[in-house]
Amino acid sequence: MTTWEIFLQQLFNGLLVGSFYGLVAIGYSMVYGIIKLLNFAHADIYMSGAFAGLIILGFLNPYIGNQWLGIIVALLLSMILVGLLGVAIQRVAYRPMLKAPRLSILITALAVSMILYNTVLLMTQGQYKPFTTGLTHESFYIGALRMTETRLVLLIAALALMLMLHLFITRTMYGKAMRAIALDRDTCQLMGINVYKIIAITFFVGSALAAAAGIMAGVYYGTVHFFMGFLIGLKAFTAAVIGGIGIIPGAMLGGLLLGLLEAFGTQIPFIGSSWRDVFTFVFLILFLIFKPNGLLGRMESERM
């Protein structure tokens, strides 16, 4: 491989993994923007999404197969299902705590994370599960770039989901209400906005996107397991902070940036992949020292 080919390949690798980070980061950012909560359970929502997708795809397989059609239907169904799970968690665990001190709700989020994580651990006995699909992995070249159909479709799907979310936030009444609540919840309530309903919608959308990322990861990597959310959760949260937490386009950009940093971090001469994370996070510390509010954050902060 020439240097140029390696560059192109790593660029694409970084974009793909970065778009997964971005999809998960959006959920952290939305929830933080609207109720100022670091939703620890979000990483486990991602994991639950992957398992929901695996189970639903298993049911659908005899009827519509487990190729793209089956995967898309399973993706949509599990997005709805996991979105509702997110709403239920919000209703049971977070809503009663909205007026409580911030730390209490943070600990509640941690508890929800533990419950989800351990439930799946018990159900799977801690084992890796194969995520079997009917997709083939024939590769072809676009210029010097080696590509598979799966990767191309997943990257496009991830970007499309982000675009749809952006339109939802900027072009609909619900999106406008979300942005308003992020600015000032009490005033919104006085103006007659149903704050609880909007918070529930926020959780639905954030969880559904995380579930989508989970299933896409399952399809792409071929295995799922109960702690698959842990590391990506940390990375996505980092991405949300880089982008400026509470700002949706920032989360997307932060995810892509982090993905690219990691991909190129593997390739630094004489250092090698074992130092990749050191490289990535040193860069991030430097970045945050000079730009503490993140890529798109502003000091006076209009959140979201």
Partner 1 sequence: MFKFKNAWILILVIALFAFGLFGCGDDTAAPVDETPEGDAEGEFEGQVLFGIMVPITGSEAADGIDMENAALLAVQEINAAGGVLGYEIITSTGDDECDPSKATAAASKLISEEVVAVVGGYCSGATLPTLALYGDAGIPFVIGAANATSLIDENPGWTFMINSTGDAQAAKAVEWFEGLGVDTIALVDDGSAFAVDLKEQTKMQWEAAGHSVVAEDRVETGTQDFSAVVTSIMSANPDAVYWTAYQGLGALLIRQLRQDGYEGVIMVGDGSSAQELLDLAQAEGEGVYCTAPPVVDFLPAAQSFIEGYNENFPREPGAYAGLMYDATYLLVNAIERAGSFDGEAIKDALAATDGFEGITGPIGFTPQNTLNRSNFVILVGEGGRWQLAE
Among 62, 143, 190, 274, the residue binding partner 1 under the rule CB under 8 A is: 274
Least Å from the CB of residue 164 to partner 1: 24
Cα–Cα distance between 158 and 259 in angstroms, integer? 14
Select the span of 66-74, 175-183, 247-255, 271-279 touching partner 1 (CB under 8 A): 271-279
Q: How far apart are CA 22 and CA 110, in angstroms?
A: 22
Residues 22 and 227: their CA atoms lie apart, in Å, by: 19
- Nearer Cβ to partner 1, position 250 or 265? 265
To which residue do tokens 């954030």 refer? 206
Site for partner 1 in 70-109 (CB under 8 A): 92, 96
Give pairs for 35-38: CB < 8 Å, separation 24+: 35/94, 35/98, 35/105, 35/185, 35/199, 36/102, 37/94, 37/102, 37/105, 37/106, 37/109, 38/106, 38/109, 38/237
Would you count residue 217 as binding partner 1 (CB under 8 A)?
yes
* Residues paired with 224 in a beta bridge: 129
141, β-bridge pairs: 146
Rank residues 136 and 187 by Cβ distance to partner 1 and give the closer one. Answer: 136
Query: Which residue type sits at 161?
Result: L
Region of 244 on the Ramachandran plot (φ > 0 left; ψ -120 to 50 alpha; else beta)? left
The nearest distance, CB 240 to partner 1, in angstroms, is 18
Contacts of 160 (CB under 8 A, 6+ apart): none
Q: Which residues inside 118-137 make contact with partner 1, applying CB under 8 A?
A: 118-119, 121-122, 125-128, 130, 132, 137
> How many residues sit close enough to partner 1 to count as binding (CB under 8 A)?
48
Taking residues 235 to 264 in sequence order and writing x for each that binds partner 1 by CB under 8 A, - otherwise, the string is ---------------------------xx-
Q: Does 68 bind partner 1 (CB under 8 A)?
A: no
Which residue ranges make up the site for partner 1 (CB under 8 A)?
A: 1, 5-6, 9-10, 13-14, 16-17, 20, 92, 96, 111, 115, 118-119, 121-122, 125-128, 130, 132, 137, 139, 146, 148, 217, 221-223, 225, 227-228, 230-232, 262-263, 265-267, 272-274, 276-277
